[in-house]
Chains A and B, each alone.
Chain A
Amino acid sequence: MQEPTLLLLTALADAPRHGYALIQEIATISDGRVKMRTGTLYGALDRLLGQGLIEVAAEEVVDGRARRTYALTDAGRTALATEAERLRAVATEAERRLAKVRSMLQGKTGPELRSTIGGSFA
């Protein structure tokens, strides 16, 4: 799953949201790193609607502005949960390996440290 898709599904995980709210939520989740533009957002929404991962939850007019609210479908929730589990497994494995190296390096410096790291990959 590509990152924009993951962020979009995550932004919809806890509540249905409309277009601009999704852009704001994605910026928050990604710590300001991803600023989705309007065309890109609607490209992703169209694709996810086509795949049945999201649905239009409501259509309304707020302050004279057209507003559609989008929500995850059951298939979308399953896809997001599967991806979250996959990412969790990768992160756990990364932490386990880093912790292993850290424990080997405790108290070692300089050449000794380098030979320990080299030896662990030999």
Chain B
Amino acid sequence: MTTPTLGAPSTALRAALQFYPASYRRERGEEMAAVFADTTAEADRSAVAREVFDLAAYGLRVRLGLTGGSVAGRVLALAAPMVAGALAGSGLVPWVSNPDQSAFRLTWDQSYTTYALTIAPPVAAILLAVAALLGRWTAVRVVSLGLAFFGLTVLAQAFSGPIFLDWWWAGYVGMATVPSMISALLLVAAPTELLPGPTWRTRGLVLASMVGGGLLVALQRWDDTRFPLDVQWFAVLLIVPVLLTFTVLRGWLAPAAVGVAVLSLTTAASVFNIWREARGLSQLLPLALPVVGLLVLVAMGMRRIGAGTGIDGGAGGGSGRSPA
């Protein structure tokens, strides 16, 4: 589309449009700038700022391939109730599986910090579950980002502990904190317009994921020796959900969404435990490279079989719900 320029667009508008890929900007930039000019003509500064943020956010989605029309966006929207439920369930694990130990932490000292660090995660998990059950996705995102920030702080402390760059300790802490960061990113990345309403199906999915996610995390807890997992099981907890995500190559969105939700909880623990059991990267690579190669072959095979089954179109292979 060839059009004259609109006049000098504001710095904020130009900056927001920079988030879009160049090809998209060429195709739609002038048109979007015109709509932006009309919508902000009589708006105050805060309304203009919201418009700019919204424009930039969609640009980032287009650039990352996470729009409501993309396969990745639809998988993330399907996975969102499961990710939120699983994260909530995992946050409640210490209080459900070992309430005495959690209560004992409160008696360590009388500081507000101890109280806050002990009570905040389960309270946030309950808030997260309630928000997900009610279909309040903005609240779900805010709470999950809060949990991610909390996890990031704890992880940063682990890295800067008495022994600088203690990878073992950081790995242990990371097993407990990285899932919240991955989950928050997935929930923020899911296209808002595709997130499901508070139907009974969604609520059931959230509740089932709370139970499933809680059990999965309880199983992986490194400080609980009641259910010690062999390293093979950590490989299974990594490889099986990865294989599930490959189903997207055949246009099956629902199993891929399950894979994404499981991976949000198992990736950190699996990678760390496999690395730990292999006793270093040099021992791990000869084992891991053939597995990764095999997974790539499986993905290529599924891609070839799945060609033409609608993974790029609106059909979605019949496994996902209509994105309209």
Interface residues of A (CB under 8 A from B): 1-2, 4-5, 19-20, 23, 37-44, 46-53, 59, 61, 64-68, 79
Whether B34 contacts A43 by the Cβ 8 Å rule is no
Which residues does chain B contribute within 8 Å of A2, judged by CB atoms?
Answer: 193-194, 197, 324
Whether A47 contacts B3 by the Cβ 8 Å rule is no
A30 to B48, CA, bound (A): 22
With A51-B69, A65-B34 known as contacts, the answer to whether A40 contacts B58 (CB < 8 A) is yes
* 14 CB-based A-B contacts, threshold 8 Å: A2-B197, A4-B193, A23-B35, A38-B51, A39-B51, A40-B54, A40-B58, A43-B193, A47-B67, A47-B193, A51-B324, A65-B34, A66-B3, A67-B34
Binds A, one of B25-33, B119-127, B223-231, B286-294: B25-33
A1 to B322, CA, bound (A): 8
Contact with A along B5-31 (1 / 0, CB 8 A): 011000000000000000000001011
Which residues does chain A contribute within 8 Å of B3, judged by CB atoms?
Answer: 61, 65-66
Whether B68 contacts A66 by the Cβ 8 Å rule is no
| Interface residue total, chain B, C-beta cutoff 8 A | 38
Which residues does chain A contribute within 8 Å of B45, judged by CB atoms?
Answer: none
Which residues does chain B contribute within 8 Å of A40, judged by CB atoms?
Answer: 54, 58, 193
CB distance from A76 to the nearest CB of B (A): 10
Interface residues of B (CB under 8 A from A): 1, 3-4, 6-7, 28, 30-39, 50-51, 54-59, 61-62, 67-69, 191, 193-194, 197, 313-314, 322-324
Interface centre among A38, A41, A52 (most CB of B within 10 A): A38
Which residues does chain B contribute within 8 Å of A53, judged by CB atoms?
Answer: 324
Cross-chain contact of B31 among A49, A52, A66 (Cβ < 8 A): A66
A68 to B28, CA, bound (A): 9
Whether A47 contacts B34 by the Cβ 8 Å rule is no
Cross-chain contact of B58 among A19, A42, A48, A49 (Cβ < 8 A): A42
- The DSSP consensus for interface residues of chain B is helix
Whether B54 contacts A66 by the Cβ 8 Å rule is no
Q: Which residue of B lies closest to A59 (CB)?
A: B1
Whether A61 contacts B4 by the Cβ 8 Å rule is yes
Q: Told that A38-B51, A42-B35 touch, could you supply 19 new A-B pairs with CB distance under 8 A?
A: A5-B193, A19-B32, A20-B34, A23-B39, A37-B54, A40-B58, A43-B191, A44-B68, A44-B193, A51-B69, A51-B314, A51-B323, A52-B314, A61-B4, A64-B4, A64-B6, A66-B6, A66-B34, A67-B31
CB distance from B129 to the nearest CB of A (A): 23
With A4-B193, A37-B55 known as contacts, the answer to whether A42 contacts B32 (CB < 8 A) is yes
A79 to B54, CA, bound (A): 28
A74 to B197, CA, bound (A): 27
Which residues does chain A contribute within 8 Å of B54, judged by CB atoms?
Answer: 37-40
A46 to B224, CA, bound (A): 49
CB distance from B236 to the nearest CB of A (A): 37
Which residues does chain A contribute within 8 Å of B58, judged by CB atoms?
Answer: 39-40, 42-43
Whether B39 contacts A38 by the Cβ 8 Å rule is yes
Whether A39 contacts B193 by the Cβ 8 Å rule is no
